[in-house]
Each structure stands twice: as structure tokens, then as C-alpha cells.
Copies of this chain bind each other. A is one copy, B any other.
Amino acid sequence: MTLERSDIEAAAQRVGPHLRRTPVLRLPAGEAGGLGLDYPVALKLEALQVTGSFKPRGAFNRILAAATLPADREAGVIAASGGNHGVAVAHAARALGLRAEIFVPEATPEAKRALIEGHGARLVVGGRDYQAAFEACQARAAETGALLVHAYDQEEVVAGAGTLARELEAEAPDLTHVLVAVGGGGLLGGMLAWYAESGVEVIAVEPSNCPTLTCAMLAGKPMPAPVGGIAADSLGARRLGGIAFALAARHLSRGVVVADSAIAEAQRRLWHACRVVAEPGGATALAALISGAWTPPEGAQVGVVICGANADPGSAVAAWPAA
């Protein structure tokens, strides 16, 4: 498997009519008008995407690439998800007139469960973590014949996520580095596939409590990783996807790990400086800058993907107001 720009171009054609072109917010260096960093950043506000995360890019692409068989229309689609992917699949299925069944682990927050059901999908809660929910989902798919839409490790899903990079390149062609959060690696894989030959360096950021990329890189293959902390419901895959791993092995510039406290601080900073709400996974890439875990080289033009906001907006912003 090699994912090419042409796969992402094809995905963009499929998903374009169903999605928003999310805006880019450019911030200067410093406190006055900026995030308090001593260099400018460009935020890709993908949390303003349909369903509140980047996930429908992959979900629509997988379903539209596959759902040409009449049989699919009866069995519908099925997915396992910590939450955001499930919301996206439920939304895409409803938009395309298909049934959807979504398996979530016990840790999935009540709000995300309600969003999935609100989109008309059948919700099945079971299993301690994403991996357990995925196994239950696989068994059910074998029974029903529903189209399985993987949360991150399917070529069409990764290509769909890559449409974010394609959009960002068009909107911010000056970027030299792009930071992106990693859980299962669908978004990371899509970004790497698009930017592979471009000279733009992709920096992967993961929570220290969900270190799928670190575990994979240390072992030389995807390996089970701990799953925990504040971003577990969006970045808590048990292991990195094989597609993302293959792309990371060839194209990843740098992997960075951040503490939960840095993620929470990035959430607060986004609200107080920009009036942008992000869930923990959505603020994880920015946390690498806020915490100093990664510092851009001289002259870099830094982009950061804010990839999700499916959180209670009050709890996403601890202290309000702050100076």
C-alpha cells in the first residue's frame, strides 16, 4: 500500500460537497494578538468542521468509495469509535440515507454518546477501551454484512483525512512545519501522505498517556500502548494503525509527547486568546508549542491543526475569565 496525492485528490472530489472548508486563523508572535508564543502560528480550525472534528473527511470517503453496491444500502454501515469517528459515521450515514451502528467503549463520554444517537445511529456500548469496542464491532459486521468504516486504519479513511492537508496547503502555502495530534494515526497518515514530497515537515504530537506512536517507533511496529488521560476518548487507540506506521516510518519528521497538563493549558489558551473551544485531543498539537516540547527552527512558518471540539464548552475552559 502506498497512499498517493492522487488518492487524496480523489477523496477531495468525493467528500467536498459534504464538508466545510474550515478556516485558518493566523496569529502573530507575542501576547498582544497572539498565543504568547514568540513566533507566529497558523491554526487550522478543523474543530469547526461538520460534526465538530476532522473525522467526517475519512467517513464520507470510505462510504462514498464503497457504497455503490445495492447490498450496502440495506446493511448500512458500522464503526467502532471513542466518539468523534462514531459521530462522523452516524452523520455521513444519515446524509447518504444509510443505516449506522456505532460501537463505543465504556469510557466514551455521555455527550458523545448522545451526539451519535442524535444523528440517528444505533449505539452499542461495550468494552473497556476502543480496541474492545472494535472487536465487538468486527463480530457484528461479520453477522450483518454492514460496511465497516474503520476509525483510522483504512486507506480510504486515511486518504479522506489527507484532504485536510490538501486544503491547508492551498490556504497556507507558506507553512514549513505542521503539527498534528496522533491517536490511531488516521489524520497523521493523511497529512504525511499529502505533504510527503513537499518539503513541509509534519510533527506528530501525542499525549504521554496515549503514546501509540512512541510505542510503535520504539518497537519498529505498532504495539499495544497505555490508554488513559484527558484525551483518551479521542486519541485512545490501543495501537497505531498500520497505514500510519508505514507512512510515519518513511515521512515523519518528528514525534513529540505532551503531558495532560500541557493539553489543558492549550485548551485554556485557545479560549482566552482566540475564543476557540477545543476538546483535549483537539488541543494536543498546540500543547507541543505551549509547553515547549517542540520549538520551531529559526524562520519556520508553523501550522497547527485544531482537530476537534466535542467537549462540554464550559469544562473545556477551566477558569473564566482570565487575564
Query: What residues on B are CB-neighbors of A321 within 8 Å?
Result: 111-112, 114-115, 118
Query: What residues on B are CB-neighbors of A310 within 8 Å?
Result: 275
A128 at the interface (CB under 8 A from B): no
- Chain A positions near chain B (C-beta within 8 angstroms): 18-27, 32-33, 45, 47-48, 50, 52, 91, 94-95, 111-112, 114-115, 117-119, 271, 274-277, 309-310, 312-317, 320-323
Query: What residues on B are CB-neighbors of A117 within 8 Å?
Result: 323
A63 to chain B, nearest CB (A): 14
User: Does A312 contact B314, Cβ atoms closer than 8 Å?
Assistant: yes
Please list 29 pairs of residues, one from A and one from B, whose beta carbons are closer than 8 Å in the complex, sorted by A's number. A18-B33, A20-B25, A20-B26, A20-B33, A21-B26, A23-B23, A23-B25, A23-B45, A25-B48, A32-B50, A32-B91, A32-B94, A32-B95, A33-B50, A47-B275, A48-B275, A48-B276, A52-B275, A111-B320, A111-B321, A114-B323, A115-B321, A118-B321, A277-B313, A312-B320, A313-B317, A313-B320, A314-B315, A314-B317
Q: With contacts A18-B33, A111-B320, A275-B309 known, what are 6 further pairs, Cβ within 8 A? A: A22-B25, A23-B25, A32-B94, A48-B274, A52-B275, A277-B277
For A316, give its contact among B33, B50, B313, B323 (CB under 8 Å). Answer: B313
Residue of B nearest to A95 (CB): B32
A72 to chain B, nearest CB (A): 19
Query: What residues on B are CB-neighbors of A95 within 8 Å?
Result: 32-33
A24 to B320, CA, bound (A): 26
Query: What residues on B are CB-neighbors of A322 within 8 Å?
Result: 118
Residue of B nearest to A308 (CB): B275
A42 to B25, CA, bound (A): 16
User: Does A313 contact B32, Cβ atoms closer than 8 Å?
Assistant: no
For A314, give its contact among B21, B45, B314 (CB under 8 Å). Answer: B314
Residue of B nearest to A312 (CB): B320
A119 to chain B, nearest CB (A): 7
A114 to B272, CA, bound (A): 12
Query: What residues on B are CB-neighbors of A111 within 8 Å?
Result: 320-321
User: Does A323 contact B118, Cβ atoms closer than 8 Å?
Assistant: yes
A298 to chain B, nearest CB (A): 22
A276 to B117, CA, bound (A): 22
A268 to chain B, nearest CB (A): 11
A112 to B321, CA, bound (A): 8
A114 to B23, CA, bound (A): 30
Residue of B nearest to A171 (CB): B23
Query: What residues on B are CB-neighbors of A23 within 8 Å?
Result: 23-25, 45
Query: What residues on B are CB-neighbors of A24 within 8 Å?
Result: 23
Residue of B nearest to A53 (CB): B275
Query: What residues on B are CB-neighbors of A26 within 8 Å?
Result: 20-21
For A27, give its contact among B20, B119, B271 (CB under 8 Å). Answer: B20
Query: What residues on B are CB-neighbors of A312 within 8 Å?
Result: 314, 320
A21 to B28, CA, bound (A): 11
A321 to B317, CA, bound (A): 17
Query: What residues on B are CB-neighbors of A314 within 8 Å?
Result: 312-315, 317
